[in-house]
């Protein structure tokens, strides 16, 4: 919280003061028995006194015309906005954006602006905030990040204007000048194999049962993410057994997954995701792990039936030990498996951006923005005149100890899965 460190009285109804977080003077003006705070934007005392007189005249002018507002401190307005959004979330009418804005206001805006009067937030104060925010991030935030921050801030200003705690003309402009968006970190097929092996080794070396179960589940989680493009996090963790569907023809099968929760579902509705056939062994192991599964059961559970929040941390540990955490495109995380899926699909040249955008629940513009470096490789044959005959990147075939499958056995197995789905609502 900022503290007053210096004060100079001008009259009984006017004084200027400094705070410990700024070199500039602020004015406190009493009009119609109420005190109002306003930044003078001046560092020199004499200039600040002159500006204070000018502000006093402006406030008196507004009071005479009944347009003077009684300002509130930022924290009070922000907490009122947060309360409204939280109530909407509790009633099931809120959005994922509401959750984001609540987090941002708590983590950044309230700690910085705190007891500052909302009418005192001007361009200079915002520049101080931007500098402080860069220090918190330890980098310049991306433009997309700033847009979220600004949206949260605008909600606070909107609340203040509606309650006549500030005038619309007093709302400052918010900058969206952030770092240029970068390429998305992904894995090459060889790197993914190495990452998978690293998790496998962690599983084999587990000293505790719970740790082993987490690492066991992580392998299946990785396979689904890299072979479907589904977002790790809410989308993946919201999947249930009833969300997996199949179409079969003899010993061939196509898996479909219905995504009902996640980042874009609120705006676009559910979407059907077509899976690469490499997820077969993961599905088979998950079925064997949960013989009494129900359609409403979460897909990604530990073998003891519990859930875990440790998958991301465990993945970070594995790729750090494999020296795969860093890449030319940035730091890799569990989310990089989605970027890997998109990159591999683009490099294969077999899927259009329009189809890929629908599959991944994103826009063509977003793919073009973050994966433009991949696009020329889609047309390497046409651009070079040379066909190297290389196949598209494929994910690692899981190391399983199950019996060797043959076509006849697969046909029977898939018939069994279809029958199970018709009878119980899940494969």
- If you average pLDDT over every residue of the chain, what do you get? 87
Comparing CA positions, the residue from 156, 137, 149 lying closest to residue 74 is 156
Using the predicted structure, report yes or no on whether residue 34 has a pLDDT greater than 60.
yes
- Phi, psi dihedrals of residue 407, rounded to the nearest 5°: -60, -40
Mean pLDDT for 329-352 is 90
Lowest mean pLDDT among 118-132, 208-222, 350-364, 392-406: 392-406
Contacts of 406 (CB under 8 A, 6+ apart): none
Q: How confident is the model at residue 199 (pLDDT cuts 50, 70, 90)?
A: very high
Q: How confident is the model at residue 142 (pLDDT cuts 50, 70, 90)?
A: confident
What's this model's pTM, rounded to 2 decimal places?
Answer: 0.58
Share of the chain above pLDDT 70, in %: 87
Share of the chain above pLDDT 90, in %: 57
Mean pLDDT for 320-338 is 92
Using the predicted structure, report yes or no on whether residue 181 has a pLDDT greater than 70.
no
Cα-trace Rg, the chain: 29
pLDDT at residue number 277: 84
Contacts of 11 (CB under 8 A, 6+ apart): none
Length of the chain: 427
Q: How confident is the model at residue 179 (pLDDT cuts 50, 70, 90)?
A: low
Tens digit of pLDDT for each residue in 279-296?
999 999 999 999 999 999
Using the predicted structure, report yes or no on whether residue 109 has a pLDDT greater than 70.
yes
Contact present, 392 and 344 (Cβ < 8 Å)? yes
pLDDT at residue number 386: 56
Using the predicted structure, report yes or no on whether residue 76 has a pLDDT greater than 80.
yes
160 vs 379, which has greater pLDDT?
160
pLDDT at residue number 385: 55
- Which DSSP letter does residue 308 get? -
Token digits for 214? 């987490």
Contacts of 116 (CB under 8 A, 6+ apart): 2, 73, 74, 125
pLDDT at residue number 403: 39
Using the predicted structure, report yes or no on whether residue 180 has a pLDDT greater than 90.
no
- Which DSSP letter does residue 120 get? G
């Amino acid at each position: 919280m900022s503290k007053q460190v210096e004060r100079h009285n001008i009259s009984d109804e006017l004084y200027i003061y400094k705070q410990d977080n700024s070199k500039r003077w602020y004015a406190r003006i009493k009009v119609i028995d109420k005190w109002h705070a306003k930044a003078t934007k001046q560092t020199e005392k004499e200039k600040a006194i002159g500006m204070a007189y000018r502000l006093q005249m402006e406030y008196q002018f507004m009071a005479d015309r009944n347009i003077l507002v009684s300002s509130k401190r930022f924290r009070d307005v922000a907490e009122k906005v947060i309360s409204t959004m939280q109530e909407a979330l509790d009633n099931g009418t809120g959005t994922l954006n509401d959750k984001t804005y609540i987090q941002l206001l708590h983590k950044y805006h309230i700690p910085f602006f705190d007891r500052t009067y909302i009418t005192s937030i001007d361009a200079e104060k915002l520049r101080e905030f931007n500098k402080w925010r860069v220090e918190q991030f330890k980098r310049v935030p991306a433009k997309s990040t700033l847009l979220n921050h600004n949206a949260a801030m605008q909600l606070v200003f909107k609340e203040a204007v509606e309650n006549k705690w500030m005038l619309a003309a007093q709302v400052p402009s918010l900058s969206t000048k952030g770092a240029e968006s970068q390429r998305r970190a992904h894995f090459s097929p060889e790197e993914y194999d190495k990452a998978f092996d690293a998790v496998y080794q962690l599983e084999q070396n587990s000293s505790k049962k719970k740790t082993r179960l987490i690492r066991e589940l992580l392998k299946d989680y990785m396979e689904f993410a890299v072979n479907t493009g589904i977002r790790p996090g809410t989308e993946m963790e919201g999947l249930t057994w009833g969300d997996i569907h199949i179409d079969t023809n003899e010993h061939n099968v196509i898996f479909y997954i219905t995504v009902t929760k996640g980042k874009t579902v609120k705006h676009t509705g559910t979407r059907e995701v077509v899976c690469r056939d490499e997820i077969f062994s993961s599905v088979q192991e998950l079925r064997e792990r949960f013989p009494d599964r129900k359609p409403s059961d979460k897909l990604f559970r530990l073998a003891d039936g519990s859930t875990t929040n440790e998958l991301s941390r465990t993945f970070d540990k594995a790729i750090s030990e494999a020296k795969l955490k860093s890449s030319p495109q940035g730091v890799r995380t569990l989310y990089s498996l989605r970027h890997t899926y998109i990159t591999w699909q683009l490099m294969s040249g077999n899927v259009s951006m329009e189809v890929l955008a629908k599959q991944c629940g994103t826009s063509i513009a977003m793919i073009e923005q973050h994966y433009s470096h991949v696009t020329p490789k889609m047309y390497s044959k046409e651009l070079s005149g040379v066909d190297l005959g290389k196949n598209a990147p494929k994910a690692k075939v899981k190391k399983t100890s199950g019996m060797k499958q043959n076509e006849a056995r697969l046909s029977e197995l898939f018939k069994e899965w279809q029958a199970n789905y018709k009878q119980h609502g899940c494969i």
